Amino acid sequence: IVPKFEFLKAVSKARLYGYEDYKESINFIALNYPNSPEGKKAEDMMQTVIPLLSKKEFIDDLEPKNFKTVYQFTSSEAVEVDEFVKNLEEAIEKLNYFYLKTSKDVYNQN
């Protein structure tokens, strides 16, 4: 079960700290749990996925099917975030020609 938690931790670190920490975490799993399914998956990722993620160029999507808009708030603005999400959801309800939805994703060390 520990390797599974290590994978979960790797994904969390990637969202919070970025590519380098993700790569380091995946490598850690591959080296420390080589006989587990997670260790084998991590080794495969080190060979196939990580090199693709390391490329810095963006590929232009000529016909985008979806997009995301990100609004940044500090952790001390929790009340403002909730109010903003409420107002945004009310505005979205008035638009009936797009399929739009909201989510509140928190990325911090806690």
Q: What is the pLDDT of residues 43-72, one digit of tens each?
A: 999 999 999 888 877 777 777 777 788 888
Q: With contact defined as beta carbons under 8 Å apart, do 28 and 6 qualify? A: yes
Residue 64 inside a domain? The answer is no
Give the SS3 label for residue 28. helix
User: What's the confidence (pLDDT) of residue 71?
Assistant: 86
Contacting residues for 60 by C-beta, under 8 A, at least 6 apart? none
The tally of domains found in the chain comes to 1
Q: What is the pLDDT of residues 78-110, one digit of tens each?
A: 888 889 999 999 988 888 777 888 888 887 776
Residue 37 inside a domain? The answer is yes
User: What's the confidence (pLDDT) of residue 110?
Assistant: 65
Domain extent at residue 26: 2-53
Residue 95 inside a domain? The answer is no
Q: How many CB atoms lie within 10 A of CB 103?
A: 6
- The number of angstroms, rounded, from the C-alpha of 77 to the middle of its chain's C-alpha atoms is 22
Q: pLDDT band at residue 39, thresholds of 50, 70 and 90?
A: very high
Q: Looking at per-residue confidence, does 30 or 99 come out higher?
A: 30
